[in-house]
Chains A and B, each alone.
Chain A
């Protein structure tokens, strides 16, 4: 176990380094700079601003300095928001994004696995067909279609939930639901497929022959094997949630990380973009690692080595 973790860490660190490098140079290759504005700055002012942030030095030198700072835990100042460091911006945005992302993931797993089990147990019956039809729809309808429609119904027409903004738990219901929907669709299909296959296997027949209750057979013996494909889907699922969160945060005007990233990229706020990329890449690597560990715990045939 320890050796497995060490080996994964040895892959993760260079990966993160690669991400930082690629993002740094791509961002710098983009035309324009953070100090462009409608009003043209006098050249000497622009020069002194550039010098203040060390951007008058050669690119390679800036890169080495940046990586050095990051290694010491310093993500630098934001180039657009005066008097704010990137670390501050991230610690303001991350809780919102994390709460929404994790709630959506939990919701998607609970509902998706539940629906998948029900559909598998009633294979080719009415409830199975309806669930799977909804699952296909869920994959096909993009979040930026479901979001405005749900807002129109539940916020504008019925007035049950707020339309946008971050204001208590109720304002999170719609974003989390919208974000979870496509994942519910995929997870329920994976669970159904896994469950149908597992329920045909010999050890389930043995369990039935022993006279175990159906609930115990399905939830304890069946589910454990049936959700294996699901565990390896969790990595892509998190990436999907990230992509979705960029859109969700825009639609519901939530002050999360995704919004900082998009705005930062458009405004060339180099340090903010880099900071968000580092945080997200780190999170994804961590979640992939957790998924691998969970896989091994669920399936004793897999040895972590």
Chain B
């Protein structure tokens, strides 16, 4: 959120600022940013995550080996030998190169699948909450029903049906993760629609659709942002479960989950194949979790 956007009119009209006209107003977002930056775990996580993202984007261009390059002489090469910083796997492929590509794929799946779940969840939840009544009842009952299904089974069936397509993994996981998002959004919408500015918009003759997209959705930002940072790690985990069961990303392309599952098989001969991907995965997930927790504390301080 940029500085100019964060200056809501309400902050200027507060009684405090009326008395001290020279004092700059503090908006919700200014406060939130200050609280977030004061949270050490969250700030460190943000730095680390930024580094991981940059590595995932640019790292694969910088490694001396490519992720699918088979080196017959380097089979099971331990770390720091034969030019392999993190060693090599059973085909002599450089683990560092594979790890960076795996990180890239896992992060991409996390972001895209979360975006899918975000779009579905926000539209569904905001519509149900805003319209209320029977439609709300019906839409949320539908969510309840989906909630009680063993979803991993359907994702597995989808994978079996349509083959291991990376786009499909995005969509399938996203289609599973939107349920909680829609519940959160609905709850928020229910309280938002009582507010005066929505009434004003309605009095001004705006259509329901315009009120939802222009007035309700932007005000949902806080809780939604928090939940997004908690959904991304959940998605990365879900993908790695699929990969572990042999239904995820296909060779030679890889993901953190695929790397870990291969590493677990070769654990005793080449422990580095399990250790490096596991550490990367855990670090990534922890970053997201700490940031999510930090954001929740910052945006919704009453929850602490």
Note whether A and B form a binding pair: yes
| A residues adjacent to B (C-beta < 8 A) | 11, 15, 18-19, 22-23, 26-27, 29-31, 136-137, 139-142, 144-145, 147-149, 152, 156, 235-236, 239, 242-243, 246-247, 250-251, 261-262, 265-266, 268, 273, 276-277, 280-281, 284-285, 288
5 closest A-B pairs by CB: A140-B285, A148-B264, A30-B161, A26-B157, A243-B152
List 15 additional contacts besides A144-B241, A239-B152, A246-B152; criterion CB under 8 Å. A23-B157, A26-B154, A26-B158, A26-B161, A137-B282, A137-B286, A139-B289, A141-B282, A142-B257, A145-B282, A261-B153, A266-B160, A268-B160, A280-B153, A281-B150
Contact with A along B11-41 (1 / 0, CB 8 A): 0000000000000000000000000000000
Task: Establish whether residues B160 and A142, one from each chain, have CB atoms under 8 Å apart when the complex forms.
Answer: no
Chain A: CB-nearest residue to B290: A136
The reply on B156 being an interface residue by CB < 8 A is yes
Q: List B residues 123-172 near A (Cβ within 8 Å).
A: 141, 145, 147-154, 156-158, 160-161, 163
Complex Cα–Cα for A26 and B161 (A) = 6
- Knowing A144-B264, A148-B264, A266-B160, the reply to whether A277 touches B241 (Cβ < 8 A) is no
Which residues does chain B contribute within 8 Å of A285, judged by CB atoms? 148
Task: Establish whether residues B150 and A250, one from each chain, have CB atoms under 8 Å apart when the complex forms.
Answer: no
Q: Which of B147, B150, B290 has the most CB of A within 10 A?
A: B150
Which residues does chain B contribute within 8 Å of A261, judged by CB atoms? 153, 156
Contact with A along B221-254 (1 / 0, CB 8 A): 0000000000001000100110011100000000
Task: Establish whether residues A250 and B149, one from each chain, have CB atoms under 8 Å apart when the complex forms.
Answer: no
Task: Establish whether residues A152 and B150, one from each chain, have CB atoms under 8 Å apart when the complex forms.
Answer: no
Task: Establish whether residues B244 and A144, one from each chain, have CB atoms under 8 Å apart when the complex forms.
Answer: yes
- Checking A30, A136, A262, A266 against B286 with a beta-carbon cut-off of 8 angstroms, the contacting residue is A136
The reply on B111 being an interface residue by CB < 8 A is no
The reply on B274 being an interface residue by CB < 8 A is yes
Which residues does chain A contribute within 8 Å of B196, judged by CB atoms? none
Q: List B residues 270-304 near A (Cβ within 8 Å).
A: 274, 278, 281-282, 285-286, 289-290
B18 to chain A, nearest CB (A): 34
Complex Cα–Cα for A235 and B179 (A) = 14
Task: Establish whether residues A27 and B157, one from each chain, have CB atoms under 8 Å apart when the complex forms.
Answer: yes
Task: Establish whether residues B260 and A144, one from each chain, have CB atoms under 8 Å apart when the complex forms.
Answer: yes
Complex Cα–Cα for A69 and B26 (A) = 67
- Knowing A141-B282, A142-B240, A142-B241, the reply to whether A235 touches B148 (Cβ < 8 A) is yes
The reply on B261 being an interface residue by CB < 8 A is yes
Complex Cα–Cα for A251 and B246 (A) = 12
Complex Cα–Cα for A235 and B282 (A) = 26
Complex Cα–Cα for A207 and B84 (A) = 65
Task: Establish whether residues A15 and B145, one from each chain, have CB atoms under 8 Å apart when the complex forms.
Answer: yes
Task: Establish whether residues B148 and A247, one from each chain, have CB atoms under 8 Å apart when the complex forms.
Answer: no
Which residues does chain B contribute within 8 Å of A262, judged by CB atoms? 156, 245
Which residues does chain B contribute within 8 Å of A29, judged by CB atoms? 161
- Checking A18, A26, A141, A156 against B268 with a beta-carbon cut-off of 8 angstroms, the contacting residue is A156
Q: Which of A23, A142, A265 has the most CB of B within 10 A?
A: A142
Complex Cα–Cα for A136 and B289 (A) = 8
Which residues does chain A contribute within 8 Å of B268, judged by CB atoms? 152, 156
Which residues does chain B contribute within 8 Å of A277, judged by CB atoms? 150, 153
Complex Cα–Cα for A74 and B289 (A) = 46
Which residues does chain B contribute within 8 Å of A246, judged by CB atoms? 152, 241, 245
B285 to chain A, nearest CB (A): 4
Complex Cα–Cα for A243 and B177 (A) = 14
Complex Cα–Cα for A23 and B158 (A) = 10
Task: Establish whether residues B282 and A140, one from each chain, have CB atoms under 8 Å apart when the complex forms.
Answer: yes
Complex Cα–Cα for A301 and B188 (A) = 23
Complex Cα–Cα for A251 and B265 (A) = 10
Complex Cα–Cα for A147 and B285 (A) = 18
A13 to chain B, nearest CB (A): 12
Which residues does chain A contribute within 8 Å of B210, judged by CB atoms? none
Task: Establish whether residues A140 and B286, one from each chain, have CB atoms under 8 Å apart when the complex forms.
Answer: yes
Complex Cα–Cα for A242 and B156 (A) = 13
Complex Cα–Cα for A137 and B167 (A) = 30
- Knowing A148-B267, A148-B274, the reply to whether A243 touches B241 (Cβ < 8 A) is yes
- Knowing A30-B160, A145-B281, the reply to whether A19 touches B152 (Cβ < 8 A) is no
Which residues does chain A contribute within 8 Å of B245, judged by CB atoms? 246-247, 250, 262
- Knowing A142-B240, A144-B244, the reply to whether A284 touches B157 (Cβ < 8 A) is no
Q: Which of B152, B153, B161 has the most CB of A within 10 A?
A: B153
Complex Cα–Cα for A66 and B141 (A) = 28
Complex Cα–Cα for A288 and B240 (A) = 27
Complex Cα–Cα for A89 and B240 (A) = 28
Chain B: CB-nearest residue to A22: B154
B107 to chain A, nearest CB (A): 15
Which residues does chain B contribute within 8 Å of A276, judged by CB atoms? 153
Q: Which of B245, B267, B281 has the most CB of A within 10 A?
A: B245
Task: Establish whether residues A239 and B160, one from each chain, have CB atoms under 8 Å apart when the complex forms.
Answer: no
Complex Cα–Cα for A27 and B233 (A) = 29
Chain A: CB-nearest residue to B246: A266
Task: Establish whether residues A242 and B264, one from each chain, have CB atoms under 8 Å apart when the complex forms.
Answer: no
Complex Cα–Cα for A284 and B151 (A) = 11
Chain A: CB-nearest residue to B150: A280
Complex Cα–Cα for A14 and B157 (A) = 21
B171 to chain A, nearest CB (A): 14
Task: Establish whether residues A239 and B151, one from each chain, have CB atoms under 8 Å apart when the complex forms.
Answer: yes
Task: Establish whether residues A284 and B148, one from each chain, have CB atoms under 8 Å apart when the complex forms.
Answer: yes
